[in-house]
Chains A and B, each alone.
Chain A
Amino acid sequence: MAKSFPEEVLEHVFSFITSDSDRNAVSLVCKSWYEIERWCRKRVFVGNCYAVSPRILTRRFPEVRSVEIKGKPHFADFNLVPEGWGGCVYPWISAMAGAYPWLEEIRLKRMVVSDEALELISTSFCNFKVLVLSSCEGFSTDGLASIAANCRKLRELDLRESEVDDLSGHWLSHFPDTWTSLVSLNIACLGSEVSFSALERLVARSPNLRTLRLNRAVSLEKLHNLLCRAPQLVEFGTGAYSSELRPDVFSNLAGAFSGCKQLKGLSGFWDLVPAYLPAIYLTCSGLTSLNLSYATIQSPDLVKLVSQCRNLQRLWVLDYIEDIGLDALAASCKDLQELRVFPSDPYVVDPNVSLTERGLVAVSEGCPKLQSVLYFCRQMSNAALVAIARNRPNLVCFRLCIIEPRAPDYLTLEPLDAGFGAIVEHCKELRRLSLSGLLTDRVFEYIGTRGRKLEMLSIAFAGDSDLGLHHVLSGCESLRKLEIRDCPFGDKALLANAAKLETMRSLWMSSCSVSFGACKLLGQKLPRLNVEVIDERGSPYSRPESCLVEKLYIYRTVAGPRIDMPPFVWTIDEDAALR
C-alpha cells in the first residue's frame, strides 16, 4: 500500500493539529503516521511526572519545543502529601538539556524545582522563552538570578503561588539592560522587596510587556511610576494597596490607571484601603478579570466596584461580598463565567459574614454564562442546589465547600444527595466536581450513572460504605482523577474495579479504609499501575495485612516503579510477595 501523501505534506497537515488528544489519535492510525507525527510534535503535556520517564519522552519526541509537567497530587495543596514525597524536576531538565537544545517553554505544576535545576535551564537552552512555575517549591531567589542573568530571550517568568526561599530582592537586577523581550512577569508570591528602580527600568525597556503582577512589598505610592511606563498593560497585579489617604498619591494613581486603555485584568490588592478604590473605577468597564481574593473590604465597597464592571468574566473574591454583593453581581455582570468565593475566616465555627447559599443561587440565576464555580460557605440546602442545577445546566466546574464536614441540608437536616444529584443530572457537561456536606452512598450512585463527562472528582467526609466508591468506579466513563479523603471506602470496591484504575490518571485515598493486603494485591496483579503506600508510621510490612494504610496513591505508568521514593513511601510490585 503506497503512501497517499509524501511525508512533508502529512507533516504540514499535522501542524494544524494542536490538541494533545487529537495528536494522540493521529499517532494511532498507522505506523507511518505514528512516525511522522512523533517527529513533528512540538508540544508535550505530561500530566503525571511518574507516568512516563524522561528517557521515554525524549526518545519518542525528538523535536519538542514546549513541555508541561505536573508532579504532586492535587491534595498536596492542602498539606496532605508529606514533605519530600517527590516530584523532582531535575531528572527531566537533565534529560531535556541533552535532547532538546532548542527547547523554548517549560511549564511546571506542583513540582520540586531546585536552584540547580533553574541554573541548568538557564544554561542549556539558548532559545529559552517561557518559564511558568505553578505551586512549585524548592528553589530560592538565587535560582531566579541565574534565569535572569542567562536567559537572553526570556519572555515570560511566572511564579504563580510557588514557595520561594526569598533570600533577597536583588535577583531582578540580574536581567541585563539589553534585554527587552519581556512580555509577562508574575512575582506576586515573593515576600521580599525587589529593587524598585530595577523594576522601573525593566518595565521602561519592555515595550511588549502585557502582564505584570507585583508582590506585596511594592507600595501603593510607587505604582503610578510603573503604570505610566507601561500603558499597554493588559493584566496588572498591584502590591499592597494601602496608604494614608493623600490626594497627590490618589490623583497620580487614578491618572496612571486611566492611561492603561488595554487593561483587562486586575489582581493583588493586599490590605486594600477602600478610599483608594475609586482610582480604578475608570478601568472597570473594560475589566474581564478581577481578583480581589486578598482584599479584606466589606460588601458595600465591593458592590460599588463590581457594579461598574459590566464586562466581568472572572471574579475571585472573599466572602465579605455576602449575599447582598452577589445579588449585585448577578444584576450587573451578565458575562460572568467564573466565580470563586473564598472564606475570610475559615477556622471559626460561627459565620462571620452573611454569605449563604442564597448568594450562589442568585448568581446562577442572573449570570447565564456561568461555567465555573468555587464556593466556600457554611450552609447549603438541597433546594438551593437543585435551583442552581436547573438555572445553570452549562456548568463545567462545580466545587462547593461547606466548611463544616458532613453538614446536612440546614433546612431539612437531610443529606445533600438530592442536591448534588441534581447537579450531575442537569449539568451534562460537568467535568469537575468537588463535594462536601453530609452525603450518603446514594449521591455516588447519581454521580456514577449521570456524571458521564466528569473528569475530576474530589470527595471528603462522605459516603457510608464501599458501595459509594463502587458506584463511582463502575460508572463515570470519563473519570481521570479521583481524590478521596476521610471516607469509609475500602478494599471491596477497589478490588472489584481494579481495571478501572488503568483508565484513569490517578487515584488518591487518604484516611479511608483500605488495607495493606488490598494494596499488595492491586500492585501485584496490575503491573501497569504504581500502587504507592504513604505511611509515616513505618513500614506497612511490619504490620498485619489487614491494617489500614494512611494514604494511598495509585497511578498508571509506563515507567515502572519509581526509584526516588522517600522512606515513607512504598511501591508494591511483583516482588512484594517475596519481602
Chain B
Amino acid sequence: MSPPLMGVEGGGQGNVSLMASSASMDSISQKGLGLKERNYLGLSDCSSVDSSTVSSLSEENKINLNLKATELRLGLPGSQSPERDPEPNLLSSGKLDEKLLFPLIPSKDGICSSVQKAVVSGNKRGYSDTIGGLPEMKGSMFSEGNWMFNAAVTDSETQKSAGQAKFSGNAGMNVMLPSGLSGTQPTTVKDGPTKASQERAHATNGTSHNHNKVNGSNNNTSPPAAKAQVVGWPPIRAYRKNTLATSSKNNDEVDGKPGPGALFVKVSMDGAPYLRKVDLRSYSTYQELSSALEKMFSCFTLGQCESQGAPGREMLSESKLRDLLHGSEYVLTYEDKDGDWMLVGDVPWE
C-alpha cells in the first residue's frame, strides 16, 4: 500500500488545489518530512497537534486512494482478474455481434488465449446466462466464486484425474442448467445423470464408474435399479422401446437373463455385508436350494452367534447350525413380479 501513499502524498500536494488545504499542505510538508522520518507510513498514528491537518491530509489521501482503487476496478466491470481483457466480447452487444457475425476468422490467439477462460465459462455458461449480460464476463466472474470447478478444469491438464475432473466440471454444468432455466424443462429427469456423475466425482479415483453407482437395490429378486432417464437417451426409437418392454414382461420377472441357460438370482440375508447370486437351474428341489443357501450364509451366522454371546459354545455342530438357521428369524422369501414378498416353497419347483 505504501507506493500509492507516497504517490498520493506527492500528488496530493500537486492535485489538491484548495487554498485552505494547500496552506495546510505547505505547513505539513515542512513537518511531513519529519513525520516521514518518524513514521514510515506517514499517516494516522501521529498524535501531534497537527493531527487534524494530518488526518485531513490522510483523508484526502484516502479519498485519492479510493478513487484510484475504484479507477482500477471500473475498467473491468464484474471481472476480478487484474489484466484487462482486450477481447471484443466485452464491447457492447451490438458491436459484439457485428464483429463475430461475418465469418472473419476469429484470431487463433484470441480463441486460444481464452481457452482456459472459455473452458471455465463454457462450464458455467448455463448458470451465468441466467443472470443476464455477456456470457464471457460472467464466466470470469464465477471463476473466483466457484474455485472448485476452476480447479477441476485445470486438473484436466493432468491426465490422471481427467475423467473425474471432467465429470465434476460437466456435472456442474448439468446441475446448473436446470436450476438456472425456469419453466418446463424436464429437470427431474435430468437429475439422474447429474446425481450419478456427482457421486462419481466425489468417489475415490481410479475405480471404474460402475462401482460408484448408487444402485439402491438390496432386494432379493428385483431387477437392478434403473437410473432416472434422460429424455431421448439412449437414442432408441419409440417402437423399439415399446417392443422390448413388452418382450421383457413376457419373460420371467426374476433377475437374470431370460431364456435357457443359467438363471441367476440375487440372494441377500438381512445383516450380511454383501449379497450372493445363485443359479436356480442348478437345483431341482427347494430342499437343495435351502441347504445351499444355508451353506453360503453360514459364515455370517457364526459371527452372529458370537455376537449374540451364546454362552459356552465354542464348537458348533452342523445340526446346531441348522437349528440356528431354522429356529432363528431367517426364512426364505422372494419378491415376485407384482412386487409382493412371498414365502418360498408354496409353488411347485417347476
Interface residues, chain A, CB within 8 Å of chain B?
75, 77-80, 135, 161, 163, 189, 270-271, 274, 293-294, 296-298, 300, 320, 342-350, 352-353, 376, 401, 403-410, 412-415, 434, 438, 440-441, 458, 460-461, 463-467, 470, 474, 485-486, 488, 490-492, 495-500, 511, 513, 515, 517-518, 521, 525, 536-538, 544, 546-548, 550
Contact = CB atoms under 8 A, between A and B. Distances in A.
B259 A274 contact: yes
Contact of A296 (B134, B209, B251): B251
B125 A490 contact: yes
Contacts of A495: 97, 100-101
Nearest to A536: B184
Interface in B134-191: 134-135, 156, 159-164, 166-167, 169-170, 173-174, 177, 181-185
A376 B119 contact: no
A537 B182 contact: yes
A79 B241 CA distance: 12
Contacts of A296: 247-248, 251, 258-259
A343 B234 contact: yes
A410 B235 CA distance: 21
A409 B166 CA distance: 12
B303 interface: no
B296 interface: no
17 contacts: A78-B231, A298-B261, A343-B234, A343-B236, A349-B225, A349-B227, A350-B215, A404-B209, A414-B162, A438-B166, A441-B115, A460-B233, A465-B119, A467-B111, A499-B103, A546-B135, A547-B130
Nearest to A544: B132
Given A293-B240, A490-B135, A352 B197 contact: no
Contacts of A412: 159
A186 B27 CA distance: 105
Contacts of B258: 296
B237 A537 contact: no
A407 B193 CA distance: 11
B243 A294 contact: yes
A496 to B, nearest CB: 5
A347 B226 CA distance: 5
B257 A352 contact: yes
A438 B247 CA distance: 32
A78 B129 contact: no
Nearest to B205: A413
Nearest to B243: A294
A513 B125 contact: yes
A163 B74 CA distance: 61
Contacts of B232: 75, 78-80, 485
Contacts of B170: 406, 461
B152 to A, nearest CB: 12
Contacts of A496: 100-101, 103-104, 106
A350 B224 contact: yes
A272 to B, nearest CB: 9
Contacts, number: 207
Most chain A C-beta atoms within 10 Å of own C-beta, residue among B135, B248, B250, B258:
B135
Contacts of B93: 517
B69 interface: no
A-B pairs, top 5 by smallest CB distance, nearest first, are: A537-B183, A78-B232, A465-B122, A413-B163, A408-B163
- If over half of A's interface residues share one DSSP class (helix, strand or loop), that class is named, otherwise mixed; here it is loop
Contacts of B349: none
Contacts of A538: 183
B244 interface: yes
Contact of A350 (B184, B197, B210): B210
Contacts of A408: 162-163, 166, 209
B260 A298 contact: yes
A131 B33 CA distance: 101
A342 B225 CA distance: 20
Contacts of A163: 238-239
B126 interface: yes
Interface residues of B, number: 81
A349 B251 CA distance: 20
B220 to A, nearest CB: 17
Given A274-B259, A490-B135, A496-B103, A78 B233 contact: yes
A288 to B, nearest CB: 23
Contacts of B135: 490-491, 513, 515, 546
A276 to B, nearest CB: 13
A80 B224 CA distance: 27
A546 B129 contact: yes
Interface in B109-139: 111, 115, 118-119, 121-123, 125-126, 129-130, 132-135
B230 interface: yes
Contacts of A485: 232
Given A296-B251, A474-B105, A536-B183, 20 more contacts: A79-B238, A297-B259, A298-B261, A347-B229, A349-B224, A403-B234, A404-B196, A410-B208, A413-B161, A413-B162, A467-B115, A485-B232, A488-B126, A492-B100, A495-B97, A498-B103, A500-B103, A544-B132, A546-B132, A546-B134
A161 B163 contact: no
Contacts of B209: 404, 407-408, 410
Contacts of A270: 243, 247
A552 to B, nearest CB: 14
Contact of B118 (A406, A458, A467): A467
Contacts of B244: 294, 344-345
A347 B227 CA distance: 7
A567 to B, nearest CB: 13
A201 B161 CA distance: 67
Nearest to B106: A496
Given A161-B239, A271-B247, A298 B164 contact: no
B213 interface: yes
Contacts of B223: 348
Contacts of B225: 348-349
Given A343-B236, A403-B234, A464-B123, A274 B260 contact: yes
Given A297-B259, A347-B229, A548-B126, A537 B185 contact: yes
A515 B101 contact: no
Contacts of B243: 270, 294
Interface string B284-302: 0000000000000000000
